[in-house]
């Protein structure tokens, strides 16, 4: 999870071991609307295969540490991130999105970099069956915090740590 995201529901235990090895949450956009056409070429994939697959949030993932997931999802995702022509194809940008284009699944002019790469990897690995890795429920288990809330949370934790460290009862006396 991103550092500004918090889990707001204690009933997430049923999601901690997804059968497919990975569990994601969708956005309202299609993968094709936020993925530069050249990225598909890197993965030897057709953009048409992603027209109706929802873009998932790379900031909200549950990943099981299995050999299959490491080799088929994490490895190609990281390899793309380390390859300039993949992660940042010539002409890619993250601003100037044109979501008023019809149909909505057409490329908006904005590229989602690591999120786009993960979406292509997942689509290919799960044979374009998003039901195998996207949560079906629409309930939100996450809250995005604003920077002032994060600062307040940090200060509270820092104060607790300082008071704990300063409390003499927390130190053990060792005999020398």
In a domain? residue 144: no
| Most confident among 57-66, 76-85, 132-141 (mean pLDDT) | 76-85
Task: Specify whether the CB–CB gap between 9 and 60 falls below 8 A.
Answer: no
The residues near 106 (Cβ < 8 Å, ≥ 6 apart) are: 32, 33
- What is the reported pTM? 0.75
Q: Is the pLDDT of residue 9 over 90?
A: no
pLDDT over 90, % of the chain: 45
In a domain? residue 145: no
In a domain? residue 169: no
In a domain? residue 166: no
- Residue range(s) defining the domain that contains residue 42: 5-132
For residues 86 and 94, what is the distance between their CA atoms, to the nearest angstrom? 15
Q: Is the pLDDT of residue 21 over 60?
A: yes
Other CB atoms within 10 Å distance of the CB of residue 7? 11
What is the per-residue pLDDT for 141? 67
Q: Is the pLDDT of residue 83 over 90?
A: yes
In a domain? residue 150: no
Domain count of the chain? 1
In a domain? residue 157: no
The per-residue pLDDT for range 34-70, each reduced to its tens digit, is 999 999 999 999 999 999 999 998 988 889 999 999 9
In a domain? residue 137: no
Q: How confident is the model at residue 160 (pLDDT cuts 50, 70, 90)?
A: confident
In a domain? residue 37: yes
Phi-psi region of 19 (alpha: psi -120 to 50; beta: other; left: phi over 0): alpha
């Amino acid at each position: 999870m991103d550092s500004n995201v918090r889990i707001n529901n204690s009933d997430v235990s049923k999601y901690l071991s997804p059968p497919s090895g990975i569990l994601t949450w969708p956005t309202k956009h299609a993968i094709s609307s936020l993925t530069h056409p050249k990225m598909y070429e890197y993965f030897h994939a057709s953009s048409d295969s992603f027209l109706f697959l929802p873009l998932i949030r790379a900031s909200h993932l549950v990943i099981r540490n299995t050999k299959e997931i490491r080799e088929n999802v994490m490895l190609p995702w990281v390899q793309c991130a380390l390859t300039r022509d993949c992660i940042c194809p010539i002409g890619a940008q993250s601003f100037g999105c044109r979501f008023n284009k019809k149909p909505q699944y057409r490329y908006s002019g904005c590229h989602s970099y690591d999120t786009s790469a993960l979406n292509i990897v997942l689509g290919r690995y799960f044979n374009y069956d998003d039901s195998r890795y996207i949560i079906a429920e629409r309930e939100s288990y996450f809250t995005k915090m604003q920077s002032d809330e994060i600062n307040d949370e940090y200060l509270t934790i820092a104060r607790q740590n300082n008071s704990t460290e300063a409390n003499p009862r927390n130190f053990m006396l060792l005999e020398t």
